[in-house]
Amino acid sequence: MVAQEIMDKAVDIEGLSFTYPDGHQGLKNIDLVVYRGEAVAVIGPNGAGKSTLLLHLNGILRGNSVVKVFGLPVEEKNLKEIRRKVGLIFQDPEDQLFSLTVFDDVAFGPINMGYSEPEVKQRVTQALEWVGMNGYEQRSPHHLSIGEKKRIAIATVLSLNPELLVLDEPTSNLDPRSKWSLFELLRQLPVTKIVAAHDLELVRALCQRTVVMDEGKIVAGGSTESILSDVPLLRAHGLAPCLD
Ligand SMILES: Nc1ncnc2c1ncn2[C@@H]1O[C@H](COP(=O)(O)OP(=O)(O)OP(=O)(O)O)[C@@H](O)[C@H]1O
Ligand SMILES: [Mg+2]
């Protein structure tokens, strides 16, 4: 029973605080559990700590307490396995793209995981099709538009079929058609999702549960419907215009 409960938790965070090397405290005592199969949004104003929190999910940043992903503590000895399970799409696509061609960037993960050449090709084709970017294989990622870069960055993670998809502002810079096709794709992917977003349309369309962050803390959480209809809460945290 206990083992089952641990298995069902995709993410388990208790009392997590994190201070950047310059002394800025990015996270303050965060508690968060995300169950397998959930889609959870993290919303909050600029500088709230959303990206900082997400970067703890595959060990890029590490704070004072142990973050567990699918029951595995995020620490050195588990990082390889965790990074196989957790696909993190960075807020800035430039952080995700480093190869000379789009193909190489999207193939990087599958090659690293040891897939055969035909399997790698199939995964790249599938991932590029999901983001509507077939035909871009030989282009340089660095010479694409920002929205195109964003879509390729998403493909680099989808090509690994992660069990937990962590998306930091996935729809920023996407045109409406790309944005809605991404919604559809994400909705259909049967994996756990954690999405940091300013795009409340995305949050409403994709996530059943929402947590609100501000100044490094989680200040509210509940069903997306209840959070997004709480206008005073949204206003208090810079997420809705104050008209009065
Ligand atoms: N490398 C860093 N060194 C020092 N402080 C940092 C660093 N990265 C972020 N911060 C600070 O930590 C706080 C949280 O930043 P974070 O990027 O997590 O916010 P965010 O909620 O993702 O904001 P946004 O909505 O703008 O993406 C901010 O005050 C930011 O200035
Ligand atoms: Mg951010």
**28 is a domain residue:** yes
**206 is a domain residue:** yes
Which is the closest atom of ligand 1 to the Cα of 55?
Answer: 18
> pTM for this one?
0.93
Q: Atom 27 (ligand 1): residue with closest C-alpha?
A: 46
Note the pLDDT tens digit of each residue in 112-133: 989 999 999 999 999 999 999 9
**124 is a domain residue:** yes
pLDDT tier, 1 (very low <50, low <70, confident <90, very high otherwise): very low
**121 is a domain residue:** yes
> Which residues in the chain belong to E strands, given as ranges?
9-19, 25-35, 39-43, 68-69, 72-73, 86-89, 164-168, 192-196, 209-214, 217-223
Q: How many domains, in total, are found in the chain? A: 1
Residue 151 token pair: 């879509």
Note the pLDDT tens digit of each residue in 29-78: 999 999 999 999 999 999 999 999 999 999 999 999 889 999 999 999 99
**Ligand 1 pocket: which of 52, 89, 91, 200 to mutate (most atoms <8 Å of CB)?**
52
Three-state DSSP state, 90: coil
Which is the closest atom of ligand 1 to the Cα of 196?
Answer: 22
pLDDT tier, 197 (very low <50, low <70, confident <90, very high otherwise): very high
Calculate the average pLDDT of the chain. Answer: 93
- Residue ranges making up the domain that contains 102: 2-236
**244 is a domain residue:** no
Residue 3 token pair: 């083992």
**194 is a domain residue:** yes
Q: What average pLDDT does this structure show over 134-161? A: 95
Distances (CA, A) of 182 to 122, 193, 196: 20, 13, 15
Check pLDDT > 80 for residue 3: no
16 strand-pairing partners: 30
Q: What average pLDDT does this structure show over 191-208? A: 95
pLDDT tier, 82 (very low <50, low <70, confident <90, very high otherwise): very high
Q: What is the CATH number of the domain that holds 10?
A: 3.40.50.300
* Strands, sheet with 9-19, edge to edge from the N-terminal-most edge strand: 25-35, 9-19, 68-69, 72-73
**199 is a domain residue:** yes
Summary count for the chain: helices (H), strands (E): 10, 10
pLDDT on residue 66 = 85
**21 is a domain residue:** yes
